[in-house]
Each structure stands twice: as C-alpha cells, then as structure tokens.
A and B are shown apart, each in its own frame.
Chain A
Amino acid sequence: MTDLTRATAAHLSELLAKGDVSSREVTQASLDRIAAVDGEIHAFLQVSADSALESADAVDAARAAGETLAPLAGVPIAVKDALATRGIPTTSGAKILEGWVPPYDATVVERLKAAGMPILGKTNLDEFAMGSSTEHSAYGPTRNPWDTNVIPGGSGGGSAAAVAAFEAPLAIGSDTGGSIRQPAAVTGTVGIKPTYGGVSRYGLIALASSLDQIGPVSRTVLDAALLHEVIAGHDPRDSTSLNQPVPDIVAAAKRADLNGVRIGIVKELGGDGFDPGVRARFDEAVALVTAAGADVVEVSCPSFVHALAAYYLVLPSEASSNLAKFDAMRFGLRQGPEDVSAPSAEEVMASTRDAGFGDEVKRRLILGTYALSSGYYDAYYGSAQKVRTLIAQDFDRVFADVDVLMSPTAPTPAWPLGAKLDDPMAMYLQDIATIPANLAGIPGISVPAGLTDGLPVGVQFLAPAMADDRLYNAGAALERLLAQQWGGYLIEQAPELEVAR
C-alpha cells in the first residue's frame, strides 16, 4: 500500500475522492510520522492531534453522506505558528506569547477549515518571524531533514522541515523577506510568496505590514497551487487584500510549458556573492529551460544592490510599531521589575519586554525605533521608502520585456547550526535575492534545483503583481524537467530519518 506520508497532496486528494483511503487514515499517518521523527526535527511547537482527527472524521462523514467537497478536503496541513488558531496555542516563536490561546482564527485558517483540511499543529519559526535560520525561536531550533546538523532556513524553517520530513503533505508559511522561499530552497521543497494582497493577512501576527504575505509550502508545484487556491482571494477584514480575481494557478501548474516564455536572468542576483555550488545548479537550470524553448536573456536591475539596506530599515521600523502591542496589559507575559515596589504600567511594560523578547527582536526593535526617531526619520526610513520606489521601477522596466525573472533563491545552501548567530549582517545577507519581491509586492516561487555537497539548492522565479500563474507554469516546467533527469522529485533523495520507537 502507498506510504500515505510520502504521497503528494494531489495524489491524496484522488485517493480520498475515490474512497481508497479515509482522511482519518491520512491524518493518523501524519501524526504517527510526527511522533516518530519530530523529536529530532522539532518542526512543530504544538501538535493538535485530537482536533485534527475530529476534522478528519467530519470530512469522512461528509464524504460518506455524498456532500460535495473541496479538492483538498481531508488532506492534513501544518500551520506556521504566526497565524492565530482558535483554541490552539499561538506563540509566533516568542516567549512573550507563551501560552496564549487565540479566541479567533486567522482568515487563512478559517479557509483551511472550510475546505475540510485537518490542522496537524503549529510549526516553529524565528521569534516573530525575524530570522533566516529558525534559531531565533524562543523554543529551540528546528533541524534540516537533509542533515540534522544544519539549519532549515527561516523564518519558516518549521513549515519547510515538516513538509521535507514527510510529517505533513502541505504547510502554511509567511514571507516578509524570504521566509517561505529561502527555507524551501535549503530543504528541497517548494514555497511561494503570492502577490502582496493576494492572500488575506487577517490573523497573521504582523511583522512588517507593507511586506508580509502568507503563502503555500509543499513538496511539488501542483500541490502548492492547489493550496494557494484554497487560501487566496479577497477578505474584507484585511484592508490591503486585493479585490481581484485569483489567476488560474492550478491550470498553470498543470500546463508547465516554457515554449516561448521570456525569462530574464537578473545580473544583480548572482555572481560573486553566491556559493559556487548554488551557481552551478542555477546555470544547469538555465540551460534546461533554454533547451525547453524559453527565450532567456540577461537583464539588469541596478537598484537591487540597495534592496537589503532599504529592507533593514523598512522592516525594523514597521516591526517596532507592530510589536508595540506586546505591552503586558491585554495578553501574553507580564513580568514586573523585581527591584521596584508598586511599579508603574510603563515600568512593567519595559521589564516585560526585556524578559519576553529575544536578542534578535530587541536588535530590530531598537534599530526600527532609531530609524523612526526625530532627526533620523527622513535620512533612514524616508530614504529607504524612496529606494523601494527605485526597486519597483526596476521591476516595471524589466517586466516590459520578459514574462518572469529567474535567480538562485538563496546565496548559499544550509549552514551548520550556530555558524551565523553572532554576525547579524551575515544572516541578513541570506535574503539578498528574495527581498526585492517583498519590497515591490510581486510574487515569487522557489523550486528545488538539485544538491551541492548533499544539501538542496533552490531556483527562484519572480513575476509581475497578480501574475502568480506565471510562477506556477515556469516552476512546474522546471520541476518536470529536473524530475525527468532524476527519475523523481528531489525530496525523494533525502536521507531516511531515524525513527523513534
């Protein structure tokens, strides 16, 4: 019989529709796999086994009763712990939110439930999604299933690792500067940052509101498209949500045809700063898409070299405002100063925020507060907003001539745990190729491109706003070409994990 944990979501959807398996069997298989390997991987902060099995039984009963169900009904999913889940603790990887149980669901979570998808649990992340390795979680790091001594990327290392370790067929991530795409690249999985406004952020614990976007995490491009279709679309509860039709991404993922597609290779997203193994896999991917009929040209986006600088002003500035809500008054930790009798609310707030925030969060909040403070606002935050305009103009210019852009997703494969923890700038440089899309609000996908020294490398495609379908077409085409070479998906080459008994 099929190993249900290794099946794609698309295949599970067929098996469930035909009645060959029940959602309870599929969900239980994922829960058993989590029990067997998550002690080592630590992708999950919470496993919601009981409610997942209840949802599975409800879907099975509805199917038995002949109800019309959504395509992914009964397929279980893991959700990044940055999204509010009613009745399931939600921490965003932060000690300051330890034990918080949201009284409401994020819109995306509501849509997963409405589609009949059992929620397996909540996945680990860098505290408040600030990081590129998941080592900044207050609850300990997640490990990469390809090699448990290396990081799984971040901030969404938990969602990527859960999918890569076959603990879940699908997961939800959020991407502010690469937090879906870079973990996908370093774990040999697929991750998409949709167009800004394409998926509601209501109920997402905000990091930087002009950059944040929720998106799908999966093992195949088609699976991501099926999930994207479930979560996309207008939501009146998110004022930035686009009231436009969602492109036909599932059809695009099935089309997978590069013939005549114009692809731009961005000169600034490659070269010396990129690991030779990453560049080698990227060059091979370019040769493959060229042979498949794509029209490949080099393009230049000169402002991209300043994207990282602009991002590390915009993000901390917005985060310093968003995280002001953690004030020890209405939810979360309250820890007063011990040496003050009858401390004021302000003293309790300052003491709580020192005790409840980790080093990276403090670093960014102080930086953001500085960039927004009187006398520095125009020079830092104001200038960064202008650089954003230049980056968006670069994209507009090149998208007049090409359909999609192509680059490596991340400059390096995964690195050993701890290796970059004492050097914030080295960590920030991980996001160099993913950040421009967030600054401009355009969509991006990372698909596996092969291995270097046994660790996965990802290739990124970028498309104009609301042209997410182009990512699915190009991504699925490259995936298919590579699968033909390898005789299967890259993830099938991942080493077997030790199973706890």
Chain B
Amino acid sequence: MTESSQITRQEVAHVANLARIQLTDAELDHLRSDLAAILEHVKVVQSVVDADTPAMSHPVPVTNVFREDVATPGLTAEEALAGAPESEEQRFLVPRILGED
C-alpha cells in the first residue's frame, strides 16, 4: 500500500477535495511532485516502529481536564459577528448548504 512513495495526480485531487481546497491543474502537478519527494523522506517512520511501540499523541499525559462551571462574560453577538464575511439578524449569513436537486 505505501511501499513506494508514488502518489498519483488523481490521489492529490482526491485529497485536495477532502481538504476543501480547489486546486488548479498547475497546482495539482506541482504538489504531486512535492508530495512524492516529501513522502519519500517521511516513509521511514513505517520501518522503525513495530506493533508493540506505544503511540504518543501528546507530550503531557492529561485526561478529562475540567474547570468549574462558572458563568463568565463572553462576546456580544456584535463582537462575535464583527469578522464575518456577511451577517444578518445577528447571525452568520452563509451560502446555500444544500444541493439544488
């Protein structure tokens, strides 16, 4: 599956779609060769660990960090919306989120 660092243009396009980045054809070509070079370097991680090596997601082991449930002043609606591209009636105004068909 990942023996070789070959990555196809089609795979890059698929991943770009997952990442929600609309790439141009030229960008796809350029990224494909960049990614192949980077994957060639990073694939070594697969050969230096085994099933018994524990994974480390975080430098400090912490679990279930809670704070007291105390109400504190937050942002006003105007402050929260101040950076929005568009807003209306104290809400974020967004493009349509459903398909037309």
The interface of chain A, by Cβ under 8 A from chain B, is 100-104, 196-197, 210, 236, 239-240, 242, 303, 306, 308-310, 312-313, 320, 324, 327-334, 336-337, 342-351, 353-354, 357, 359, 362-363, 365-367, 369-370, 373, 375-376, 379-380, 382-390, 392, 424-425, 428, 439-442, 465
Give chain B residues whose Cβ lies under 8 Å from the Cβ of A331: 83-85
Interface size range on B against A: 35 or more
Given the interface pairs A331-B84, A440-B59, the reply to whether A386 lies near B22 with Cβ below 8 Å is: no
- The answer for the CA separation of A427 and B67 in the assembled complex, in Å, is 41
Give chain A residues whose Cβ lies under 8 Å from the Cβ of B85: 328-329, 331-334
Contacting pair A354 B23 (CB below 8 A):
yes
Give chain A residues whose Cβ lies under 8 Å from the Cβ of B22: 337, 347, 350-351, 353-354
- The answer for the CA separation of A227 and B44 in the assembled complex, in Å, is 40
Given the interface pairs A379-B1, A424-B34, the reply to whether A103 lies near B79 with Cβ below 8 Å is: yes
Give A334's nearest chain B residue, CB to CB. B85
Q: Which of B20, B35, B54, B57 has the most C-beta atoms of chain A within 10 angstroms of its own C-beta?
A: B20
Task: Map CB proximity to A onto B9-28 as digits: 1 under 8 Å, 0 otherwise.
Answer: 00110011111111110010
Given the interface pairs A308-B41, A342-B96, the reply to whether A366 lies near B49 with Cβ below 8 Å is: no
Contacting pair B35 A367 (CB below 8 A):
yes
Per a CB cutoff under 8 Å, which of A236, A324, A333, A366 touches B31? A366
Give chain B residues whose Cβ lies under 8 Å from the Cβ of A312: 38, 41-42
Task: Give, as a whole number of angstroms, the nearest-CB distance from A382 to chain B.
Answer: 6
Contacting pair A344 B95 (CB below 8 A):
yes
- The answer for the CA separation of A375 and B82 in the assembled complex, in Å, is 41
Task: Give, as a whole number of angstroms, the nearest-CB distance from A447 to chain B.
Answer: 23
A-B contact pairs, 10 of them (CB 8 A): A103-B79, A345-B97, A347-B22, A353-B21, A353-B22, A363-B38, A389-B56, A390-B53, A392-B59, A425-B37
Given the interface pairs A101-B82, A330-B84, the reply to whether A362 lies near B21 with Cβ below 8 Å is: yes
- The answer for the CA separation of A246 and B15 in the assembled complex, in Å, is 43
Contacting pair A441 B42 (CB below 8 A):
no
Contacting pair B15 A369 (CB below 8 A):
yes
- The answer for the CA separation of A190 and B11 in the assembled complex, in Å, is 43
Interface residues of B in 34-79 (CB under 8 A from A): 34-35, 37-39, 41-46, 48-49, 53-60, 62, 65, 67, 75, 79
- The answer for the CA separation of A309 and B39 in the assembled complex, in Å, is 9
Task: Give, as a whole number of angstroms, the nearest-CB distance from B40 to chain A.
Answer: 9
- The answer for the CA separation of A380 and B96 in the assembled complex, in Å, is 36
Contacting pair B42 A309 (CB below 8 A):
yes
B-side interface mostly: loop
Contacting pair B95 A382 (CB below 8 A):
no
- The answer for the CA separation of A210 and B57 in the assembled complex, in Å, is 7
Given the interface pairs A376-B2, A383-B46, the reply to whether A236 lies near B58 with Cβ below 8 Å is: no
Task: Give, as a whole number of angstroms, the nearest-CB distance from B57 to chain A.
Answer: 6
Given the interface pairs A348-B95, A363-B34, A386-B55, the reply to whether A103 lies near B75 with Cβ below 8 Å is: yes
Contacting pair B19 A330 (CB below 8 A):
no
Given the interface pairs A239-B65, A332-B83, A332-B85, the reply to whether A366 lies near B15 with Cβ below 8 Å is: yes
Contacting pair A362 B41 (CB below 8 A):
no
Closest 8 CB pairs of A and B: A441-B59, A331-B83, A334-B85, A386-B49, A385-B55, A350-B22, A103-B79, A239-B65
Task: Give, as a whole number of angstroms, the nearest-CB distance from A228 to chain B.
Answer: 18
Given the interface pairs A210-B58, A239-B65, the reply to whether A345 lies near B38 with Cβ below 8 Å is: no
- The answer for the CA separation of A365 and B22 in the assembled complex, in Å, is 12
Task: Give, as a whole number of angstroms, the nearest-CB distance from B60 to chain A.
Answer: 5
Given the interface pairs A101-B82, A306-B45, the reply to whether A370 lies near B21 with Cβ below 8 Å is: no
Per a CB cutoff under 8 Å, which of A242, A303, A366 touches B21? A366
Give chain B residues whose Cβ lies under 8 Å from the Cβ of A240: 58, 60, 62, 65
- The answer for the CA separation of A322 and B65 in the assembled complex, in Å, is 20
Task: Map CB proximity to A onto B77-101 as digits: 1 under 8 Å, 0 otherwise.
Answer: 0011011111000001011111110
Give B70's nearest chain A residue, CB to CB. A236
- The answer for the CA separation of A100 and B81 in the assembled complex, in Å, is 11
Contacting pair A330 B59 (CB below 8 A):
no
Give A424's nearest chain B residue, CB to CB. B34
Given the interface pairs A379-B1, A383-B46, A384-B45, the reply to whether A370 lies near B11 with Cβ below 8 Å is: yes
Give chain B residues whose Cβ lies under 8 Å from the Cβ of A210: 57-59
Give A348's nearest chain B residue, CB to CB. B95
Give A423's nearest chain B residue, CB to CB. B37
- The answer for the CA separation of A383 and B98 in the assembled complex, in Å, is 38
Contacting pair A367 B38 (CB below 8 A):
yes
Give B42's nearest chain A residue, CB to CB. A309
Per a CB cutoff under 8 Å, which of B27, B38, B46, B80 touches A103? B80
Contacting pair B75 A104 (CB below 8 A):
yes
Given the interface pairs A210-B57, A370-B35, A383-B45, the reply to whether A345 lies near B94 with Cβ below 8 Å is: yes
Contacting pair A382 B55 (CB below 8 A):
yes
